[in-house]
Structure 1
Amino acid sequence: MLLPFLLFFLLCNSLAPVNSLNAEGLALLSLKQSLQDPEASLSNWNYSDDNPCSWNGITCKDLRVVSVSVPKRKLYGFLPSALGTLSQLRHVNFRNNKLSGRLPAELFGALGLQSLVLYGNSLSGSIPNEIGKLRYLQTLDLSQNLFNGPLPAAITQCKRLRTLVLRQNNFTGSLSDKFGSNLLSLEKLDLSYNNFSGSIPSDMGNLSSLQGTVDLSHNHFNGSIPASLGNLPEKVYIDLTYNNLSGPIPQNGALMNRGPTAFIGNPGLCGPPLKDPCSSEVSGASSPTSLPYLPDNSAPRGTDNGSGKDGRTNGLSKSAVIAIVVGDVIGICVLGLLFSYCYSRICASNQEKDENGYGFGKERKGRKECLCFRKDESETLSENVEQHDLVPLDPQVAFDLDELLKASAFVLGKSGIGIVYKVVLEDGLTLAVRRLGEGGSQRFKEFQTEVEAIGKLRHPNIVTLRAYYWSVDEKLLIYDYIANGSLATAIHGKPGLVSFTPISWSVRLRIMKGIAKGLVYLHEFSPKKYVHGDVKPSNILLGHNMEPHISDFGLGRLANIAGGSPTLQSNRVAAEQPPERQKNLSTEGASNLLGNGYQAPEALKVLKPSQKWDVYSYGVILLEMITGKLPIIQVGNSEMDLVQWIQLCIEEKKPLSDVLDPYLAEDADREEEIIAVLKIAIACVHNSPEKRPTMRHVYDALDRSSISSD
């Protein structure tokens, strides 16, 4: 009797790890069992874990699976129905694998699904009607598979759908009549290289959110081109090549001024921009109605050179010809005088203003640009911003706009110059993306020149701008992601968090020297000897080894060009707020709102920043790192800035211990170094700009004081 009991006990213990894994983990293990994994990408998917949140490709929120993403891993097999049991599932991505079989209808039981990306596999069969249940679906990319059958009409119930890409499949049948009426959020549409047939829905012209190329090419669409397609945004390129379309090409809106390449491969199409005239045009060429209008619609009579017997004239009289010639000469002279006046007055004025930095005349490669007869900015923009694509500023940029938009994004912070996101691409690359906002003055060329100049800056203590994106409604700046947050948080902690690990004096010294190095590079070695203009701890980011990276350089100007609010302007507005609105500020709030704490005194009088502004701001940062205090200090019932407070302490001859950050008490034996840095800081915040040192002198002074950055 003991032996069976012992076997039962051992069997229970061997099954214990299975029982410890939650239901979502079991569902994912059924996926693993249905796949062959030659690269062992799913090797850490194990029964022994309590939950799957640490597994490769799995993202959880509150211990619930929200994303399954295993792209480009050569996975074989099929998708099991168990995936649909993940009730909080939001994103599924198996792109560029070797999956086969059909899409299980049960997958669409995950009603919160927002993106389904399966392109580059060998999946087949039709799309289940259950897809209509996915009311939150935004991205559906099934391109480069073997799907067939009609596109279910139920897909029009996915009214939040923004991206629909079905390229290179075997879909057949016609599109739903409600395609353009229901899918009003669509921004990207690619149905190319399929076997779709029937007419193009007339309501497709309602898709006013579409961008880029609407690709319906290489199908079997027939009938005429709906004139309503002209209602699409004018910057949208409509590719209708290689279908069975017929009839005249409508000449309105987005269909106008397109080259023939958008329509070739449709033998039945006629009219401009094709060379094939429509039949009515051919017959009309010889009909009486094609003649110039005459009162009696008859051919002109009279054959002599002057006047005929009937009194009609076949040509202009000599006096009329002379009058026309004289008028032309006078008109040319007037235009010449007008141009000369414009050049001498307006262009000369612009050249003079350029020297002061605020005119419209621009120097472009040694040639002055006179904008007396300037094109409208919207027209200039349309010439330059057609592709709406990501522009890399570094040859090592290997991601594209699609990868960026499909990536996971988390808000890092908000300010008057837009929102900053932490973006994690599918391959694990992490970026910081600043969204400058929508609308604004559309000065694309100016923005392009400025952003590409910033993109050329390369220094280990300056955040690198890797790429940018511009469209009329969206401007993005893509930077390296810096892992350890801002210097403001490192000095003061994060609002609301009790735990706080202060940084030691030696680390602070390394940070001080790194910031100085970055500013010396900007001031002396950058192509235009730049000024940052907004140096403060929230703009100093810290890397893995606490090395400093100066961020947001040039951001105020870029935001101004793009229509945002420049940093300095927002700081001045904040400085004018009543004291009661400036009390009890968080660390980041004080750093961002009370920007005047870091700005030089002359900033309120002089509009154009100078390098001495940066020196003053750097001095305030040194004081902040020594004292651990915010730039605005509450003293009794009043407030004073940090510079005034430190000067008061010096006048009252207070000991260093009264000034020093309490967290630096353990570093009291390094008093000599601390006093040396304090002297440098006081020199930097001198009230007179002329008496402040340059950043080169500041950096040299740190070295002469035997301050180590190790």
Structure 2
Amino acid sequence: MFPLLLFILLFCNPHSLVSSLNGEGLALLSFKQSITEDPEGSLNNWNYSDENPCTWNGVTCKEGNVVSVSIPKKKLLGFLSSALGSLSDLRHVNLRNNKFFGSLPVELFEAQGLQSLVLYGNSLSGSVPAEIGKLKYLQTVDLSQNFFNGSIPTSLIQCKRLKTLDLSRNNFTGSLPDGFGTGLISLEKLDLSYNKLGGLIPSDMGNLSSLQGTVDLSHNRFTGSIPASLGNLPEKVYIDLTYNNLSGPIPQNGALMNRGPTAFIGNPGLCGPPLKNPCSADTPGANSPSSFPYFPNNYPPQNSGNSVGKSGKAKGLSKSAVIVIVVSDVVGICLVGLLFSYCYSRVCACNKGKDENGYSFDKGGKGRKECLCFRKDESETLSENVEQYDLVPLDTQVTFDLDELLKASAFVLGKSGIGIVYKVVLEDGLTLAVRRLGEGGSQRFKEFQTEVEAIGKLRHPNIVTLRAYYWSVDEKLLIYDYIPNGNLATAIHGKAGMLSFTPLPWSDRLKIVKGVAKGMVYLHEFSPKKYVHGDLKPNNILLGLNMEPHISDFGLGRLANIAGGSPTLQSSRMTSEKPQQRQPSNAPSDVATVHSATSLGSYYQAPEALKVVKPSQKWDVYSYGVILLEMITGRLPIVQVGTSEMDLVHWIQLCIEEKKPLADVLDPYIAEDVDKEEEMVAVLKIAMACVQNSPERRPTIRHVSDALDRLAMSSD
């Protein structure tokens, strides 16, 4: 029977007869068998006919051995096979943003040369095996956005070379391992946010001197007081402790000093600056008046009358004491007079010969001497100038400094009521977008710093990244990634002066609206404050090299207001360029009229904007719906109908009521895609749901994004 069974097995698996695939290839094929869905065919060229897997998609070899398996964002569904652990030279595993489920196999950590393990954005669960401590060369662990639970293994602190640890958005519980701060001495990035971690924050975390960017412990259950040792972290590190159960006074030292309240909100038990909740005298660790440095314990009590001796008689001043006081007063008055006379002469000298920077030149003209008199602007803002006059990076990728920025070539991209935007090219070729916020305002630096650092923490592929900022009395700059393909308004309508214009095909339009929806989902649901954009429109959607969308100008109105400007809702619109009037030969006669972008801005605002000052998330949904209609119809948000004008939303509603043909509604440039007509109709229905007059009837942006994703899947 056994020879017969062997014959059957060989006959059913002919690859075993002809395959010359090495052991690593067979291990990877075992991994492939654990994947039940591969909708994009990412693993189609993984087969038995090759000698080794080095030419397979996502596989990198060195000297014939597999060193990397990287298959991100391919919608792979399955579990993680233990076979990966048998790849003895494996260094990097990147399976982020797929649909893997199940637990981490213990065998995976047999690949003891592993340097990076990136699995974020899956549905993995269970605990992290203690065997992770075997990985002596591990530098990056990113398990964020999964369903891991249990405690963080104590063995993790044995990974002395670990630089990035991101366990955010899971269900981890328990306290941090003992020795967390002294063990992970190479750690540069730490994100433990959105878990259920508890206990005390280890005091030895102040030893993590290599940390950069944001140390995020927010949205957990940490208790007790904030260790003063956290102030020993590098001063440029932003420590986010929001939404825990911390209590007691906030230490004011090192990296904890001069932080805005946004780093500590959500902890009702915390007190003291920068919060408006003062510490009571019986708060442990709080400074009572008797222990404050300026009021030592032996400070004499104050009485309204003369001091009384033991005998009960008031003691008077002696004759010699009176003489000393009188002489001192006379000398003091003389000194004040001399000082006043000196300063007056210096003021005159300054006013006669100072240049525009407040310096006066000597008569010989050989140099300049600093004027010693106090100018009004300096004396009033001296206390506000702390941490100013320098470029402040918001992430580790910022490698340029202020001098390089000021020496770079700059080209004006646009102007608005909020300032000028420049395209800046550094000497090394790096291209940035720099916005000047104007010259006003010098009293609200700390408020500006808190706001801009919160915005700088936002990281999403469909949101423009704020990389750095600069603040001084005379200049406020915001430095962003440069997005090269202009904005969506120009891509839809063109603009005046364009020699040629190629409208977007439907595939690009669908890709763009899906990307914008994902970016808005991040702002609404996953950003630290669940932000509202409040000014979403095509001018604020920039397009990358592959026409991927990037939402821009988020929080700009707020920053401009803090920086000293008073931007109105209308003046905050970016650029005043006029769209080009498109009139193809088959265009309907009631072509949209040409309006400046500034005058069109209000048409993206929800109806409740006339009554409510503060935007809501449903306000953003309405704006997004108008953008969808603009993409489908190719029209501006105001339409010319005969001799009158009508906003795009009401025009569409009128077309539906009159049962006009779909061809009369669609942009003529995409009407030719007959096979995509069902998609267009579906997007039109989504748009109409978004522009409902009542905010309660509009869907959330997450529901919109999910609907668009299902639409794309059904069309594949």
Higher fraction of helix? 1
Larger radius of gyration: 1
Give me the TM-score of the superposition, normalised by structure 2.
0.48
